[in-house]
């Protein structure tokens, strides 16, 4: 956790590996507002996608996965790509 805002604004998400949000190559949009920073992520955690921050052009790995859990700072806007929401629901149904 930090005492300053770390990321604020819209992001483009490109799924890097098949996951509960869809197949690799799927693009989604969302936003990021958080007061924390990820440092030294364990190599045992796979990253589901890359995030491109529109405001500052930063690009980073995100969407850390272990088993059926995906953790992220990103708030996805499912209306931009409804297939992401459909993939999530299908995954939840099993």
**Can you give the pLDDT of all 94 residues of the chain as single tens digits?**
778 876 678 999 999 999 999 999 999 999 987 676 677 666 778 899 999 988 888 888 889 898 888 988 899 999 999 999 999 999 999 8
Q: What per-residue confidence (pLDDT) applies to 83?
A: 97
- Contact call for residues 25 and 14 (beta carbons, < 8 A): yes
Is residue 44, in this structure, part of any structural domain at all? yes
Is residue 2, in this structure, part of any structural domain at all? no
Question: Which residue is listed with tokens 């364990």?
Answer: 42
Structural domain count, the chain: 1
Is residue 52, in this structure, part of any structural domain at all? yes
Q: Measure Cα distances from 93 to 2, 32, 51, 90 in Å.
A: 37, 27, 27, 5
User: pTM for the complete prediction?
Assistant: 0.83
- What phi and psi values does residue 90 have, to the nearest 5 degrees? -60, -40
Q: For residue 28, what are the domain limits?
A: 7-84
Q: CA 82 from chain center: how many Å?
A: 15
Is residue 57, in this structure, part of any structural domain at all? yes
Is residue 78, in this structure, part of any structural domain at all? yes
Query: Rounded distance, CA 7 to CA 3, Å?
Result: 12
Q: What per-residue confidence (pLDDT) applies to 54?
A: 84
């Amino acid at each position: 956790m930090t005492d300053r805002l770390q990321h604020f604004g819209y992001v483009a998400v490109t799924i890097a590996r098949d996951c509960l949000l869809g197949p690799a190559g799927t693009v989604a949009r969302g936003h990021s507002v958080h007061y924390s920073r990820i440092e030294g992520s364990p190599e045992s955690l796979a990253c589901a996608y890359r995030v491109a921050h529109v405001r500052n052009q930063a690009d980073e790995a995100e969407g850390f996965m272990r088993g059926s859990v995906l953790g992220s700072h990103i708030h996805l806007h499912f209306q931009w790509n409804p297939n992401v929401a459909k993939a999530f629901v299908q995954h939840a149904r099993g």
